[in-house]
Structure 1
């Protein structure tokens, strides 16, 4: 049966902040089962909190009073990082980051209570022949065990001390991964500086915060005195007794999923499948829903606005949340998503963002420049139970800077550090909508933006109707394609047709289907109805193979889009000093914006690089006609290399604005450009990319852009001064050295003793041949320029090539 949540009844003797015994309580003798009398364990000094369990603090000890009826119940233990030191994880791990998530059960074993980790990944029908084997080969580990210290007077609940669960180093719930332990050379947990900060009980969850201090030889920052101190938040959440009917995932529609293995499958192996993560929405009036009427759900999805949210931003947050109602209307629901202001103390004195019954958009006063849309999911069914979306205050800064950089050439309102409220508010609204999308179960769809023709993004009529991309779940934050003079164009992303399609696919109630298997042909048919339309395609952007599936990319032609973006950057740079300067302030804002502008230039270049050796992916199943993978056409690849030679590997004079640079640094421009160009070159000469080009030539014959052609085109572009007998400047000398060193690195692989896959490919032959050709050209042409330093440079490159090719000697 699927349906209602379990109604929890807890037998407890305490209230929040009230001790459990009076000072006059008489001393009791030790009980026959080796436990102590209740009042000797939970003394008059105890600070208690009543909820799913009752938590008791007695001095520095933490006790759980666990109702016996809660034993063997499935609970989700979610471990999050609540506070981190500066620079932890390279700045990519923030407060709110999830460290682990696992299902646990509390079980009684004699005079002990064990907490076992339960897995629902491997499944088998109870009573089937293989069931016993599945159970025996998936024995549940014990995460924590504690002797029962006492029972309550009615013996309906057991008291155990749980201090060591949070004060000792328990790998399954800490926030320092093995990789980070190695990076920071963590030695051990210092128990004297580790403690439990708080424990709060709510009707359906327990929240414990604890501080952990590690001794580390190389902590993230030098001033951390050889220690890493962090705060963890452990959430223990009761899972529903009545389980929702799961929905089987399909890789053609993007969803966060939970993996399962079915050992009762008729296949000659365990059946590996996934279910999607989604909230449970059931129509109040199923008959009206069947007739196609919009119907409210029995339980809508509600987010509360954090009381800490500034008043002026609350309307934008509410809009970003409730924007999703348009998508849910496509799925047959009205008022499915509701945004609420936080209740006052008078309205709800017990309201807390920590209570799992409430989902909250949290506003965090932090220098972190990010937003997150995490959720808590029942791994048995994929049901999303709760979500706390996080907005970090300084994320405003990210959008202010990006707006100036990518829209400043076109929009006067973007040429300021004080972005107008309506425009920054619209950006915040769409960020919240994006994060709500994650919390509803949708991952990034980086392929969406490639559905729109690049030049359509310069059209006011098109962008105002369709936005910048078919999905808010794409990274397409600002319209950098639009050019000065393109009037009334939309610059900020918005929800699109893919979002409505995905929500309908995942949330539409299918009353005629009594199982996930009965839903499957219906769901597949909905996909087939949209097949062939790029607006409804999905790609997560991972792997770097498909150039149509990239973060921050706009339009279906990456070369054209990057040319437009670069043209705008060239107009922005000469104005940055004026746009970022304030009286009586230094140039730190200018430094920050200029640095981020260089990152965006690097992004435009990487969008183009992905076309070389790229492969388009169109997700299909075996019942669909056509192939899944198609190489990028030859002309598009050649166009990409031509763009790189012209715009990425030439000296970026436009970026080296003297009026700007002399305000922010004494030196560093050469190194910065060298880093940007070398990164692009190494990406272009990536082993996987070259191997795809070689394999593609073998499969598709001569109708492809070959690796040899690419190297020839690249060499002629990077060494243009050699072939034109011209002087070489410092920036070009750097990229030419990087070219020789990259090719030489491949050849030098032959000297390495360890097994290396590249030695068994054609890549070394390709690089050896290219270096030999370059050496011949250098020898023949090196003295045709009158610049002595250029001649020295050519000679140096010959020497480097000689060293690289001497591996056979």
Structure 2
């Protein structure tokens, strides 16, 4: 009670003072207001949902660019005005590297490399604008009930969520802040995939060193450049910085409201494709629909086109040269691009594809090779020896929207080297390190034409080099008219078959009849065909008109079993072609020093070319090896008759085994050239040949090859059996056992490699699954334990052990005897391990 009284007394003493202070403050404020008369305009009140008035977001300081979206730059922030009319519209978002640090990706990633390509749509949800990724892998017509099931079972992932900051004056567009989206490390649009992050030990994006470089809006697309710096423990270059810096370009382009009419793919004609699963099919299962990828070419004058006249397209395909392209090479690049005008004329179009120099800054200050409106032949300052022809396409229809041809600076050196090695025996102008400019230019022209072919939709056609007879390639008249393969899309770079004394030979590849045929098949407009299905009868007819003619056959790349579809091979008989090729290589090897080191007074080119010569020799051997256990693939429909798969005749397989023994497994003494070897390295000579010979030996002794040989027993009465192949291989590799002769160093290495490979076939298994779609796989997988393989290998090793025991006591060469004893011990160890 006493405490309560004291508290009340304290309040009575303090309150009057506080009241007095408050009154005095109010008087001072009134006096100040009377004297100053400050007028503050009322601020617009944000709406309860947090959306601000337009003028508060897009202030007078905004730098605005009008286009697909209006973009606003305000200090260091960027805003988009997303029109409501563009919500739910399909757009293609393409991520590319615009500038790249040295060494990123090991030389096969460059400025212009595409890192991702995805369809996106903008959607509104309450007070947000969502950017979603949309897929056309699964489809159904909107009029069908099942389309709802397709939708709910293919929910679109949200790439990013943007808060609506404001609406424009007439409320037809939402304003969003895109600054964080374009300055954050978003994996789906990043230039560093997971493997690079692991390889370079990337920790995180450094926000203080990352920013939006520019935003440009055009009528159909928006281009955003981002500068990113990542903290990395093992960067590919400039290691002391602990950083990886690169510039990305994000292209967002509005796709056509009406997709291009697709053309249905036929595997008998080679095309890159897009795939869809159509759940609206009347069949008892979903249909797999495959469409070819091609540019949208439509005739300006459809009536004249229908009459068979050549007509210009409404929109031609235009390629610009990179501003960094050396002047002396520009004409060859343009020629390579416009070489495709003739095949397009076969399809009814004139001036369908055009090459242009890049516009000057005065002509077009906003020109950028990364801008998705432009297709560009990118010239890359890189030591990589390669060229590529990627493209960007609409997954709804296969329409190619844009493409960039990538040319790496050092690629011509590869062509100079191959020209010297493969044609130098028969072609005097190739016997130099200073290849004539016109010939180098012709090579570049054909490489560009090849890469443009990819960008037009064509994959490699490895059957084109099998279309001409090997002996035809020695004819000047034939090669000048037909080239060395039926298509520029094969890997048939040079005529290595022609021999010294052959006259007027064409040594460099060129466009061929298949290129005209495939362009017509894919690009010719078929009048009165209003649906993809209504075109099929005409497309089939065009194929059947060429049925049986090897010049118009398509052969897949990567077919490890088909001798008629091989890379770097020419001529329809690999044995004849490789025989001529090796004969030429022997001539080149004899003269290699005089063509290189004796001219330059150093050994660098000699070393480089000798290493590549070994690779060329190995390829020629590999072409013949493919005959062994080989199967020809002839893609066809039942109406064409015959079989899709035909086993290489047994006689050809036996001849191929004998050829390999004589040209690869017998010591190639012509390659052991003292004048070369002792001038390029101090040691390691025997290892070079061991690795090359072992590669071909292991290639023959592969599980899938043995499996195909075993398969042949079930289908053919005349077949080269797995047992026959293994016996022939053993008898050839160990021929010294019959004569008790000395075994040289190279043969000893090869024989030990044989035992090692047989050991692995006793203990290991092949890949579990076959790759690719049914009927088109490259590698056969089967249950090895329950097949004949182990029994055949065990039997061959027992036969070999018996012969080694007999031969070791007959030889008088000590090292040979030690070698035989070691081989016996190795075989015994294999059997012991298998108990």
TM-score by length of 1: 0.91
Q: Are the counterparts in 2 of residues 113 and 147 from structure 1 also a CA contact under 8 Å?
A: yes
- Aligned ranges for residues 301-320 of structure 1 at < 5 Å? 301-320=317-336
Alpha-carbon distance in structure 2 between the residues aligned to 1:750 and 1:263: 39
Equivalent residue for 1:524?
A: 540
Equivalent residue for 1:630?
A: 646
Q: Are the counterparts in 2 of residues 80 and 96 from structure 1 also a CA contact under 8 Å?
A: yes
Pairing 1:447–2:463 present: yes
Query: Which segment drifts farther, 744-753 or 360-369?
Result: 744-753
Q: Are the counterparts in 1 of residues 89 and 122 from structure 2 also a CA contact under 8 Å?
A: yes
Equivalent residue for 1:765?
A: 791
Instruction: Show CA shifts across 1:100-119 (max 9, x none).
Output: 22100111222211111111
User: Which of the two has higher C-alpha Rg?
Assistant: 2
Alpha-carbon distance in structure 2 between the residues aligned to 1:220 and 1:350: 31
Q: Of residues 768, 775, 795 in structure 1, which corresponds to 2:821?
A: 795
Q: Are the counterparts in 2 of residues 748 and 807 from structure 1 also a CA contact under 8 Å?
A: no
Query: Which segment drifts farther, 771-780 or 721-730?
Result: 721-730
Pairing 1:721–2:736 present: yes
Equivalent residue for 2:832?
A: 806
Q: Of residues 386, 403, 412 in structure 2, which corresponds to 1:370?
A: 386
Query: Which segment drifts farther, 707-716 or 332-341?
Result: 332-341
Gaps of 5+ in 2: 1-40, 769-780
Equivalent residue for 1:19?
A: none
Equivalent residue for 2:22?
A: none
Instruction: Show CA shifts across 1:477-517 (max 9, x none).
Output: 11111111111100111111101000110011112111101
Pairing 1:130–2:140 present: no
Query: Which segment drifts farther, 29-38 or 794-803?
Result: 29-38
Equivalent residue for 1:740?
A: 755
Equivalent residue for 1:11?
A: none
Q: Secondary structure at the match of 2:784?
A: helix
Equivalent residue for 1:783?
A: 809
Alpha-carbon distance in structure 2 between the residues aligned to 1:786 and 1:220: 56
- Aligned ranges for residues 116-127 of structure 1 at < 5 Å? 116-127=132-143
Q: Are the counterparts in 2 of residues 94 and 368 from structure 1 also a CA contact under 8 Å?
A: no
Q: Of residues 396, 399, 411 in structure 2, which corresponds to 1:383?
A: 399
Q: Are the counterparts in 1 of residues 461 and 490 from structure 2 also a CA contact under 8 Å?
A: yes
Seen in structure 2, the aligned counterparts of structure 1 residues 713 and 421 have a Cα distance that, compared at 3 Å, is: same
Counting matched residue pairs gives 783
Alpha-carbon distance in structure 2 between the residues aligned to 1:257 and 1:228: 35
Q: Secondary structure at the match of 1:778?
A: helix
Q: Are the counterparts in 2 of residues 472 and 493 from structure 1 also a CA contact under 8 Å?
A: yes
Instruction: Show CA shifts across 1:706-756 (max 9, x none).
Output: 111111111112112232222222221111111000001121239999x99
Q: Of residues 109, 115, 121 in structure 1, which corresponds to 2:131?
A: 115
1:258 CA drift (Å)? 0.4
Q: Of residues 348, 351, 356 in structure 2, which corresponds to 1:335?
A: 351
Q: Secondary structure at the match of 2:724?
A: helix
Q: Of residues 518, 524, 532 in structure 2, which corresponds to 1:508?
A: 524
Alpha-carbon distance in structure 1 between the residues aligned to 2:708 and 2:91: 47
Equivalent residue for 2:719?
A: 704
1:358 CA drift (Å)? 2.5
Q: Secondary structure at the match of 1:623?
A: helix
Alpha-carbon distance in structure 2 between the residues aligned to 1:230 and 1:733: 52
Equivalent residue for 1:284?
A: 300
Q: Secondary structure at the match of 1:113?
A: strand
Equivalent residue for 1:414?
A: 430
Seen in structure 2, the aligned counterparts of structure 1 residues 584 and 532 have a Cα distance that, compared at 3 Å, is: closer
Pairing 1:587–2:609 present: no
Query: Which segment drifts farther, 518-527 or 124-133?
Result: 124-133
Alpha-carbon distance in structure 2 between the residues aligned to 1:649 and 1:216: 48
Alpha-carbon distance in structure 2 between the residues aligned to 1:706 and 1:587: 48
- Aligned ranges for residues 522-561 of structure 1 at < 5 Å? 522-561=538-577
Q: Are the counterparts in 2 of residues 202 and 355 from structure 1 also a CA contact under 8 Å?
A: no
Alpha-carbon distance in structure 2 between the residues aligned to 1:54 and 1:278: 31
Seen in structure 2, the aligned counterparts of structure 1 residues 175 and 613 have a Cα distance that, compared at 3 Å, is: farther
Equivalent residue for 1:603?
A: 619
Alpha-carbon distance in structure 2 between the residues aligned to 1:331 and 1:349: 36
Query: Which segment drifts farther, 245-254 or 119-128?
Result: 119-128
Query: Which segment drifts farther, 584-593 or 387-396?
Result: 584-593
Q: Secondary structure at the match of 1:627?
A: coil
Alpha-carbon distance in structure 2 between the residues aligned to 1:557 and 1:568: 17
Q: Are the counterparts in 1 of residues 703 and 766 from structure 2 also a CA contact under 8 Å?
A: no
Seen in structure 2, the aligned counterparts of structure 1 residues 447 and 36 have a Cα distance that, compared at 3 Å, is: same
Equivalent residue for 2:710?
A: 694
Seen in structure 2, the aligned counterparts of structure 1 residues 69 and 779 have a Cα distance that, compared at 3 Å, is: same
Gaps of 5+ in 1: 1-24
Query: Which segment drifts farther, 770-779 or 238-247?
Result: 238-247
1:430 CA drift (Å)? 0.8
Alpha-carbon distance in structure 2 between the residues aligned to 1:81 and 1:170: 14
Q: Secondary structure at the match of 1:385?
A: strand
- Aligned ranges for residues 416-431 of structure 1 at < 5 Å? 416-431=432-447
Equivalent residue for 1:475?
A: 491
Alpha-carbon distance in structure 2 between the residues aligned to 1:657 and 1:223: 42
Q: Are the counterparts in 2 of residues 261 and 272 from structure 1 also a CA contact under 8 Å?
A: yes
Q: Are the counterparts in 2 of residues 749 and 759 from structure 1 also a CA contact under 8 Å?
A: no
1:68 CA drift (Å)? 3.4
Instruction: Show CA shifts across 1:257-295 (max 9, x none).
Output: 100111111221100020111111112222222222222
Q: Secondary structure at the match of 1:102?
A: strand
Seen in structure 2, the aligned counterparts of structure 1 residues 803 and 40 have a Cα distance that, compared at 3 Å, is: farther
Seen in structure 2, the aligned counterparts of structure 1 residues 366 and 152 have a Cα distance that, compared at 3 Å, is: farther
Q: Are the counterparts in 2 of residues 27 and 39 from structure 1 also a CA contact under 8 Å?
A: no
Q: Of residues 683, 692, 709 in structure 2, which corresponds to 1:667?
A: 683
Alpha-carbon distance in structure 2 between the residues aligned to 1:241 and 1:153: 27
Q: CA RMSD in A?
A: 2.8
Instruction: Show CA shifts across 1:314-366 (max 9, x none).
Output: 22122111111111111111221222233334444443333333322222222
Q: Of residues 254, 262, 267 in structure 1, which corresponds to 2:283?
A: 267
Alpha-carbon distance in structure 2 between the residues aligned to 1:717 and 1:229: 57
1:761 CA drift (Å)? 2.3
